[in-house]
Copies of this chain bind each other. A is one copy, B any other.
Amino acid sequence: MAEQPQGQTIATVERAADVLNAFTELDGATVGVTELSERLGLSKAVVHRILTSLRVKGFVELDEDSRRYSLGPASLSLGLTYLQKIDVRDEARSFLRDLSEQTDETATLSVRRGDVRMYVDQVTPSREVKMTVQLGHPYPLHAGGSSKAFLAHLSDEFIDDYLSRPLEQLGPLTMTDPDIIRKDLALVRSRGFASSLGERQEGAGSVAAPVFGHENDPVAVISVCGPVERFQNEIDDIAPVLLESTRRLSRRLGWEA
């Protein structure tokens, strides 16, 4: 459970951090001052000053033609510096590729920190109609195959605490009732994989299974995902292939059954 840090903070720094986080949460590649101002409840003058400050340091860039802002190279630098901490990514790459080839669907790798998970890698098939995911975007743990594959294998304390708070409705099919989610998590645990048909993202289907390392909690989750119409009929074919992959990767990462 993400513990809120004690200690004095600086409101201005928190606002700047909110501005940066907004870039990862919004869908477009560029963002305008007014949009951020409304989203964060700050005056346009403040947003503009924050963005200018972040520009000076390389965290955002201004497209002078459109007068909109996008992330800059210092943001990339941050992320890649962090990425060096994630050993599982290089190990998982060939598994993703094999999975994608075998299923002719997109294979993804997710990692979790606290209450959120994010895609950190994906391999997509050559076909034209396929699903692609957004790397780096933070998702809650109750919606979607990859999220549930994490949540199902966390401690009871974590699950109780997580489900004690209001859950975000990502789309019309997102489950937000704790009792229903608990039943689903029990099913995930008994089958070893989670499936999702439109819960996180309308029209998207996925099958996801955890990857374990030395510790009890999953190190990562691998999923196979695609358009929901195809998935209705493919889950039973995909799941065993996926489970074989996650078992092999888990063993490589030091997991002992």
Contact = CB atoms under 8 A, between A and B. Distances in A.
Interface of A: 4-5, 7-10, 12-14, 16-18, 20-21, 23-24, 29, 48-50, 52-59, 62, 70-86, 111, 113-114, 116, 118-120, 134-138
Contacts of A55: 5
B57 A14 contact: yes
Contacts of A16: 10, 13, 16-17
A7 B52 contact: yes
25 contacts: A4-B56, A5-B52, A5-B55, A9-B49, A9-B52, A13-B16, A13-B53, A14-B56, A17-B53, A17-B54, A17-B58, A20-B74, A21-B57, A24-B77, A24-B81, A75-B78, A76-B83, A76-B86, A77-B137, A79-B136, A80-B119, A80-B120, A81-B137, A83-B136, A84-B136
A86 to B, nearest CB: 8
B4 A78 contact: no
Count copies of this chain in the complex. Answer: 2
Nearest to A70: B85
Given A57-B14, A59-B17, A82-B76, A52 B135 contact: no
A56 B111 CA distance: 20
A78 B48 CA distance: 19
A136 B76 CA distance: 7
Contact of A78 (B9, B13, B23): B23
A17 B71 contact: no
